[in-house]
Amino acid sequence: GENVEQHPSTLSVQEGDSAVIKCTYSDSASNYFPWYKQELGKRPQLIIDIRSNVGEKKDQRIAVTLNKTAKHFSLHITETQPEDSAVYFCAASPLNTDKLIFGTGTRLQVFP
Amino acid sequence: EAEVAQSPRYKITEKSQAVAFWCDPISGHATLYWYRQILGQGPELLVQFQDESVVDDSQLPKDRFSAERLKGVDSTLKIQPAELGDSAMYLCASSFAVGRNNEQFFGPGTRLTVL
């Protein structure tokens, strides 16, 4: 079955710097890759997603890139702000399912 | 804005006891998911419903866990008997339809502690 690995497990950046979180997946047939943000004590919320027919997607300060050949995708946050501090999870959805296989999460801390 | 509701938010129980969690998805969402999130890990799917039918329960420990969604709306997840290793956050999520990778909306979760 699908397996998703996520790195790094923790990431500390200065406010205004960029942050990059990387994930790899094992099932080449997976076709949907969402990113969720989970603030302390709160529910996970979708922040951006990408489908396998697209290489890059951007929404204001966040962007996601997908490399199907290498089976990895990355989250890029530019001009980080303290409110970006949270745990970020990547996920992959195997073909013809709605199942999400999550990575282990990255705790991002943005210092003012 | 409509949200997924879950109760209770916190549950402390002793091992070998029975526990039950309740989830009310966003109105009109046909697909409902139960996830288990162990501290420091990502959510792991336990069971997926399409209306009242189970679509995927391959990761549900069926000797002690059961889930139902009798009328295709709200859902209950039960553990009997609870074990120490069941301590985790139990998240419910819902999405509009099946087979289209729609956004999954998560509830606030039930944090279970088994003593």
Contacts of A12 (CB under 8 A, 6+ apart): A108, A109, A110, A111
Distance of residue A12 Cα from the nearest chain B Cα, in angstroms: 17
- Of B48, B102, B106, Cβ closest to residue A99: B48
Write out chain B's pLDDT in tens, 115 residues.
789 999 999 999 999 999 999 999 999 999 999 999 998 899 999 999 999 999 999 999 999 999 999 888 999 999 999 999 999 999 999 998 766 667 899 999 999 999 9
Position A78, amino acid: T
Residue B104 contacts A, CB cutoff 8 Å:
yes
E strand segments, B10-50: 10-13, 19-24, 31-37, 44-50
Residue contact A97–B43, C-beta within 8 A: no
Q: How is residue B103 annotated by DSSP?
A: P
Nearest to A43 by CA among B103, B77, B97: B103
Q: Quick: pLDDT tens for A26-74.
A: 999 999 999 999 998 889 999 999 998 889 999 999 999 999 999 999 9
